[in-house]
Structure 1
Amino acid sequence: MHAWPASEVPALPGSGRDLRIHDTATGGRVTLVPGPVARIYVCGITPYDATHMGHAATYNAFDLVQRVWLDTKRQVHYVQNVTDIDDPLLERAVRDGEDWTALAERETALFREDMTALRMLPPRHYVGAVESIPKIVPLVERLRDAGAAYELEGDIYFSVAADPAFGSVSGLDAEAMRLLSAERGGDPERPGKKNPLDPMLWMAARPGEPSWDGASLGPGRPGWHIECVAIALDHLGMGFDLQGGGSDLVFPHHEMGASHAQALTGEHPYAQAYVHAGMVALDGQKMSKSRGNLVFVSALRREGVDPAAIRLSLLSHHYRADWEWTDAVLTEAVDRLARWRAAVSRPDGPSADALVEEVREALADDLDAPRALAAIDAWAAAQSAEGGTDEGAPGLVSRTADALLGVAL
């Protein structure tokens, strides 16, 4: 599976700072100091609907991570998956009378278009669940043969008891886990499971549903969590620098993924830091495909909204915050974009050397994008009120907004 084209990232004078970021597993800030190649895995879409603002906010957060690392002169090895086989995809295809593969391909293509328009840097590896099945099957067999998984009516379940560190990502108690499992795709009430929290690794073939050769597992399809583990271990290995996604993935997805990998390898941790973006609401409720309360990136683009303004609307909120999409949020972003573009269009202006360092420091401090925006706002206001004599300043501000914030002026 191919990703989307990369926009050029301008080089800035000097070098950026190491990223200090909130780690869900420890509940505090950690300073990430990767080697020459920083490794990041971000969970991708289940392609049964277009990219909504909640998706965009999540991928914007981890795009900032990439940009901070690139500014430190590191390379970035970024991996993202596409869950192109799962119950919600099949259910939507049945509802709409459409072939599930055609639905997945269309929505994945639209996602690529949205990411390109928003200037999100693409992953080095963009990998689908279906194409990963040959790598998933041996992992499930290894877990089963090691006693970390068991069969129940043809399905294969992971035993959470096989990982002594289970629970260390989310820090939740068993009852909270059970409630979230039922809400987020698990089956804690199924009779016969060793532990209600045990997640499915391999679903035996169901009548009328697609299935694949599972070797000794029998025909079927993979569970949700093992998909990401197979892709991450294949391309990044254990102990990669950052596992990312929306806050709704903390449990069960990231908790279970870590346990799968740790049981497979006997190593800990799966990732050095677990980082999660907040949820975006509309009309008082979290945007979700199941509710249908969505604002689509593609719809805004069709209405003529500049993608840079969409991106600024995302950047105006801290990545970990839950916030609500309103017309006022977009209006403010459109106005900010106009002010910035007017400011950098002049032939000279106030010195911007300090501004570059302010933006760097803001982003290195737990991706504080609103503080970075405020710094550029202040420069633009000074440009409007007083001007300046530094001929290189407008260009430096423009390159800073592009390189560190992904906003093309």
Structure 2
Amino acid sequence: MADRRSAREFVAELAAGFTELPAPPAGSSVVDGPIGWPGYDEARARAEERTGERESVLCGVGRIGAVEAMLIVFEFGFLGGSLGRRTGDRIEAAFTEARRRRTPVVSLIATGGSRMQEGMAALTQLHRIAGQAALTRAAGLPQVSVLRDPTTGGGWATLGAGADVTLALPGAQVGFAGARVRPPGDFSAYTAESQLASGLLDRIVDPAHLPETLGRWLTLLTGADGRPAEPPAALGATEPPATGWDAVLAARAPERPRADAYLTHYFDWCEDISGDRCGGVDDGVRCGFGSRGGVTIAYAAQRGSATRPAGFRTAARLVRLADRLGIPVLTLVDTPGAANDAAAEREGAGSAIAEVFAAIAGASVPVTSLVIGEGGSGGALAFAAPGRIWATPDSFFSVTSPEAAAAILKRGPEEVPATANRLHLRPQDLVELGIAEGIVTRTSG
């Protein structure tokens, strides 16, 4: 069921000490708006009387949790939360003030799209909003959006989908096409739940938990100190393997600790992002931001499966966002390699892997990597930061798997263990080769 709380009701529940920004000057007054839409002035007057608002957005500064933020809150009761010229004036003023104050921007969106009674003058407000969001990204300030019901049209395509972190309320209608202009077909695609499954937003949040969740996110996105992440302590084996094949068996052992265990042990608490923003989610990669001793560290962790293109793109998205916000990154390497089936190739495996290589190579923040299991070829190397790689005793890193190496050399399965030994893939071999900085212990980190 649609949540029709007013903008001021949302603000009262979310923000302490909210101070509304003064409305920008209205400018020249034209009867029935810029294109003379009959009855537009009367429609605005009725909307003002019904909602008590002068426009479809309420903008101001308040504290969410411990963090001061700029809030842009849509009032759907005012002409369907539509975007007009005065809406653009207010949103531009909010972004400008956020940059002056150095505060994050939180948008709580409920809109049907651009205001048709203003024609192209309304539609081009999307340029203004996109421009302001770009300036705010360049200033290194985080942007978080909350998708209410409905979030459609330009509001979704700018403030919603363009945010660094995108949350949504359950059952919210979310999509570029509004309900009255969609072609016949599967309407389930236009829901927050569908958008989450398609990798286009990060999390669905129960309204009762929204204040706490927003507070946690704002704390994380503003809580870095710039220092490199220390590699986590080893959670599994205590001694390096004697042979290459022993290393392979240890890394593949079912009981060996995986990424989730390392993240739980390393962080006091954390929040995951989800999806590659291109239509895909890879459950074999976990990315997000965690708090360790009150300091934020971003993480991109492989969970032991073959990494799919969506996983690489999500990791690249995480690294780029962390870099822009000045948040150091920790990566956990654990994959037999990149997925190499036909579907992965059609999904752009090569370009997705290239995105991660480029994101880590171009990052100005420090990136720390720990190999916690299998390090399978380029699919694993893409997650590893040159010059800051460590390894656990129950891990290995290899140019290719022992099985693949034996097959390339036209050797039988019985030759796989000996091939593993020749590959020099043990953690101590990585240190001797200068690939890894060291082997972590249970007291490291």
More strand by share: 2
After TM superposition, the score normalised by the length of structure 1 is 0.26
More helix by share: 1
Q: Which is higher, the Rg of structure 1 or of structure 2?
A: 2
After TM superposition, the score normalised by the length of structure 2 is 0.25
